[in-house]
Structure 1
Amino acid sequence: MFEHHTQKVLPRPKFQRRVLKYSFVAMGMIGVSWVIGAIGYHYLTDPHLCWVDSFYNAAMILGGMGPVDPLKCKTAKIFASFYALFSGITFLSATSVLFAPFIHRFLHILHVDNADR
């Protein structure tokens, strides 16, 4: 009825490399999203925000704090709306990617016999 798992738990050095790899993937997801937001804020606002303000606004939305500079044109408001939704999904996805190796290891330990560790 139940499967018997005979595969051993991944050794600590390999697990640490896996965590590092997944961390880089999560940081890449956040970084690409941050750049997309900064480009959008720089080119779609009227008047154009400088790059520093664009990165700042993108970071604040990506972190869940909300925009800093008031948006006056409709294009910027539409972009900010979609970017806020995109940022929420990206943040949750990156968090899932970051925690995936830990959850996988925990579930794997629960299903391995003590003799197999």
Structure 2
Amino acid sequence: MYESRSEGVITRGRFVVRMFIHVVLAFAFILVSLLCSILGYMWIEEGVKWYDAALNMAMIASGIGPTMLPVTVEGKVFLALYGAYTSVVFVAILGLLMAPILHRILHVFHLDDDANEGNDENQG
């Protein structure tokens, strides 16, 4: 998916497409994680409506915390594990979104290094 060190930097248009793909993948990952957590919370905490579960899971994912505390021990454990999971997801999503940008920056630096090495050989 990414160009190698020997290839040139991709065009701005291709970079925009690459970033769009990464943003879509990030949103898809967030959406699947949120939907699975909503269904899991509704299954563990019986009697919770979907909109209450969605609000609770979205608030935990945003770092604010639950709006309503679970009644069962299983629900409390689920929320604790989901809170830890969202921390890992945050780092993964950040990496997914930053990867194309950092790759492009580092690729430009490597091309500059290769150009300087070629100039040094020609001068010596």
TM range (shorter): 0.7 to 0.9
Q: Which residue of 2 aligns with 1:34?
A: 34
Task: Determine which structure has the larger helix proportion and give its number.
Answer: 2
Q: Per-residue deviation at 1:29?
A: 1.0
SS in 1 for 2:111: coil
The 4+ residue runs of structure 1 with deviation greater than 6 A are none
Larger relative contact order (Cα-Cα within 8 Å, sequence gap ≥ 6): 1
Once the two structures are superposed, the pairs formed by residues 1-117 of structure 1 within 5 Å of their partners are: 6-46=6-46, 48-113=47-112
Structure 2 gap ranges (5+) = 116-124
Q: Distance in 2 between matches of 1:6 and 1:36?
A: 42
1:13-56: CA deviations, max 9, x gaps? 1111100111111111111110111112212114x211111111
Please report the RMSD computed on the Cα atoms of aligned residues, expressed in angstroms: 1.8
Q: Per-residue deviation at 1:7?
A: 2.2
Structure 1 gap ranges (5+) = none
Which structure has the bigger radius of gyration?
Answer: 2
With normalisation by structure 1, the TM-score equals 0.86
1:63-102: CA deviations, max 9, x gaps? 1111110111101001111111111101110111011101
